Amino acid sequence: MRAGFVALIGRPNAGKSTLLNRLVGEKVSIVSDKPQTTRTRILGVKTTPEAQCVYVDTPGIHKPMHRMNARMVDAATGALRDVDVVVWVYDASEPVGRGVHYILDLLAKIDAPVILALNKIDRLAKQTLLPMMSAFAARRAFHAIVPISALTGDGDAALEQEIIAALPEGEPLYPADYLTDQAERTYAAEIVREKLLHHLREELPYTTAVLVDRFEEPGDDGLMRIACVILVEAASQKGIVLGKGGDMIKRVGTEARLELERFFDTRLFLDLHVKVRGEWRNDERILDEMGLGKRGH
C-alpha cells in the first residue's frame, strides 16, 4: 500500500481544481473560467486497493495585491511543505509567461518528487507537445511529465499511475470512504460563489465573497435552510449582483439551490443577501471568518 499527500499547484486558471475533481471522481472544489477561483487549500481523498492519494488543491500562484491574495498565495506555497508529491499543473495552451520562472524557483527549494502535468492538451496541436516536454525537461529533473486534459480525462489515468508510483509506502491516513475536509456549510458557500463567478465579469469575480449566516439541517418539514451573505466592495457592485429587478441574484440562487439539493439529497431553502463592505479583501477579521488562514500558516 502507498499513501501520502499530493499538492496540486500552478498558476491561476491552469485547471488544478478541474483535475482534483477528476482524480477524486467527485466535485470537491469549485471551477470557473475566471482566474483566482480557489481561495483556500482543499483536500480531496481518493482511496483504491493499492493506494490512498490525499490531494491538496491550492489557490493559483500570482502576484498578490490585497491581503486576501497574500493569504491565498501563502496557502499555495505552504502546501509545498510536508507533502510527498507535487503536481505542477501547467496550462499548455497558454504562451509561456513569467510565472514559469517563479514556479521553477519555488520548486527548486523542495525535495519531494515533482510531476509536471501539461494540461488542456485538447486545445493543442499534437506536434507542439514533444518540443514543450523537452523544453521543460531541460529546466529541471521532473519525476515525470504527463500531458493531460483535466476536462476530457485524457491522460489522467497515466498521471494517477505516476503519482502513485511516486508516493511512499505506508498505511492510509484517512478512512477509505473519506472524501474531503471541507465542511458542508463551506461547500454550500462555495457552490453559491461558483454560480456567481459564472455570471459575473470584470472586477466582480475578485470583489465578491460568500459567507454562511445560517445552516440548518432539514427539520420536520424536510426542508434544509441555508442563508448566505454575498459581500461586495461598492454599492454599484451590489446593483450588478442583484441585477435588473433582482433577476441576477434570483438566477444565481436557483442554480445554487438545484445543485445543493442534489448534493444534500434534500429540498432546500436558500436565502441570499448582498452586503457592501468596502475593502473587505484587506480586512483580516473577514478573511479569518472566511477561513482563509493567517499569513505564514
Ligand X SMILES: Nc1nc2c(ncn2[C@@H]2O[C@H](COP(=O)(O)OP(=O)(O)OP(=O)(O)O)[C@@H](O)[C@H]2O)c(=O)[nH]1
Measured from the CB atom, the residue of 218 and 291 that comes closer to ligand X is 291
| Shortest spacing between CB 72 and ligand X, in angstroms | 9
Residues at the contact surface with ligand X, assessed by CB under 6 A: 10, 12-18, 31-33, 35-38, 59-60, 119-120, 122-123, 149-151
> Cell triple for residue 296?
505564514
| Shortest spacing between CB 38 and Mg ion, in angstroms | 3
Query: Which residues, 6+ apart, have CB-to-CB distance to 245 below 8 Å?
Result: none
Residues at the contact surface with Mg ion, assessed by CB under 5 A: 16-17, 37-38
Residue by residue, DSSP assigns 122-148 as: GGS-GGGHHHHHHHHHTTS--SEEEE-
Distance CA(30)–CA(21), nearest Å, equals 9
| Binder of residue 12, out of ligand X, Mg ion, none (CB less than 5 to 8 A by kind) | ligand X
Query: Which residues, 6+ apart, have CB-to-CB distance to 256 below 8 Å?
Result: 188, 191, 192, 194, 195, 270, 272
Measured from the CB atom, the residue of 20 and 268 that comes closer to ligand X is 20
Measured from the CB atom, the residue of 2 and 195 that comes closer to ligand X is 195
Strand partners, 4: 53
| Shortest spacing between CB 36 and ligand X, in angstroms | 5
Beta strands in 124-247 (DSSP E): 144-147, 209-216, 223-232
Phi then psi dihedrals of residue 192, to 5 deg = -60, -45
| Binder of residue 119, out of ligand X, Mg ion, none (CB less than 5 to 8 A by kind) | ligand X
Measured from the CB atom, the residue of 18 and 69 that comes closer to ligand X is 18
| Shortest spacing between CB 79 and ligand X, in angstroms | 12
